[in-house]
Structure 1
Amino acid sequence: MFKQKKFVSLLILIFAIGLIAYVVITTQSPKIGAEKGMLAPDFTLPLWETGEEQSLSSFQGEVVVLNLWASWCPPCRKEMPDLIRLSDDYKGQGVVVLGVNLATHERDANGADEFMIEYGVTFPTFVDQPIDSVNRRGVVSSLYNIQSIPYTYILDRKGIIQHVIRGEVTYEMLETLINEIK
């Protein structure tokens, strides 16, 4: 009788350990990083339109097209009309286009303002801020380890990076990638 109780207790203990291990493994949050399959690094920066601070994470629940650009960059200039059209076409459909002006990469203090006005950018655009007065890299530039521009990230509704595009994007390319996620 004692051996049978000991055996049942051992089985219960093994089951409990297995259950705990399963719960821990399956509920772990995804790693944070700027690569496909990772949770996009969150940031809080001012928006160009209002100067009010907003976080990337406040857009969770929507598919996010996150485009990083600078005003002097020829591919950034070329892709902007497609990004604006995409934003307008998908407004209210669970897809949001967000821009990040890599202000620390700008060559002219007024470059971003002139760019935003020239192109009539209608989607929310963050203004990257320097990490500190010594380091010229911006918050987003550092979090996403940006070495060249433009860069575009497509995040699913949970903020997981589904696509990373280095270089110029087109409306058709983005639409195809968004429809894979939607």
Structure 2
Amino acid sequence: MNAPNFELFDLKSHQEVKLTDFRGLPVMITFWVSWCPDCQRDLPLKTQFYQSLDKSELGFLTINVTGREHAEKDGPRFAEEHDLPFPILIDNGTEVYDAYECSGVPTTIIMDKDHRITHQFGDKASFYDVLEALSHVTK
């Protein structure tokens, strides 16, 4: 399946980010919300991974699903309190979350350099499984 394109505001760069900005690169996207215990366990692992990542080899994005937050500002507040270093895009409610057919959080999407979705991981996936999937698209 080809990944749906999107254009969302990034809390870090204060700019609009599009999937097409990463043309020719494999991409990993993680959808998350602040209140989710699985997200709270997953995001620190993603932080460690992001800090060691060669950004020229993989597009790395996270999307805060505002439509699943208790309040719209909860995601940005959580990101600031936990000093999340990676791009944090703000979904329009659940627009992009729904376009990617997510059914829970966190959901991590892996796509190849042509932006075809190769893997989708739900809330119970291990980080090892995500890394294994990434190894197939970043060769």
Could you tell me the TM-score, scaled by structure 1's length? Answer: 0.69
Query: What is aligned with 1:167?
Result: 123
For 1:52, the equivalent position in structure 2 comes to: 15
Cα shift at 1:70:
0.6
Amino acid at match of 1:75: D
Give how far 1:171 is off.
3.9
> Based on CA coordinates, which of the two structures has the bigger radius of gyration?
1
CA distance in 2, matches of 1:68, 1:171: 14
Whole-Å separation in 1 of the counterparts to 2:105 and 2:9: 20
Q: How many residues align?
A: 138
SS of equivalent to 1:76: helix
Preserved CA contact (<8 Å) 2:12 2:86: no
Q: Which residues in structure 2 correspond to 1:64-79 (within 5 Å)?
A: 64-79=27-42
Q: 1:41-87 deviations in whole A, cap 9, x for unaligned?
A: 01111111233211112112222110000111110111001111111
Please state which structure has a larger fraction of its residues in helix. Answer: 1
How far 1:142 moved relative to its partner?
2.5
**1:3-53 deviation digits (Å, cap 9, x = unpaired):** xxxxxxxxxxxxxxxxxxxxxxxxxxxxxxxxxxx1100111111123321
Q: In the alignment, is the contact (CA less than 8 A) between 1:82 and 1:170 conserved in 2?
A: no
How large is the Cα RMSD of the aligned pairs?
Answer: 1.7
Residues 121/88 of structure 1: CA separation in 2 closer, same or farther (3 Å cut): same
Larger RCO of the pair (alpha carbons < 8 Å, separation 6+): 2
**After TM superposition, what 4+ stretches of structure 1 lie above 6 angstroms from structure 2?**
none
Q: Is the Cα–Cα contact under 8 Å of residues 68 and 150 in structure 1 kept in the other structure?
A: yes
Aligned match of 1:180 in 108, 129, 136? Answer: 136
| TM-score of the pair, normalised by structure 2 | 0.89
Q: Name the % identity.
A: 24
Which of 71, 74, 95 matches 1:111?
Answer: 74
Q: Measure the CA separation in 1 of the matches of 2:101 and 2:127.
A: 25
Q: What is the CA distance between 1:170 and its match in structure 2? A: 4.3
Judging by fraction of residues, say which structure has more strand. 2
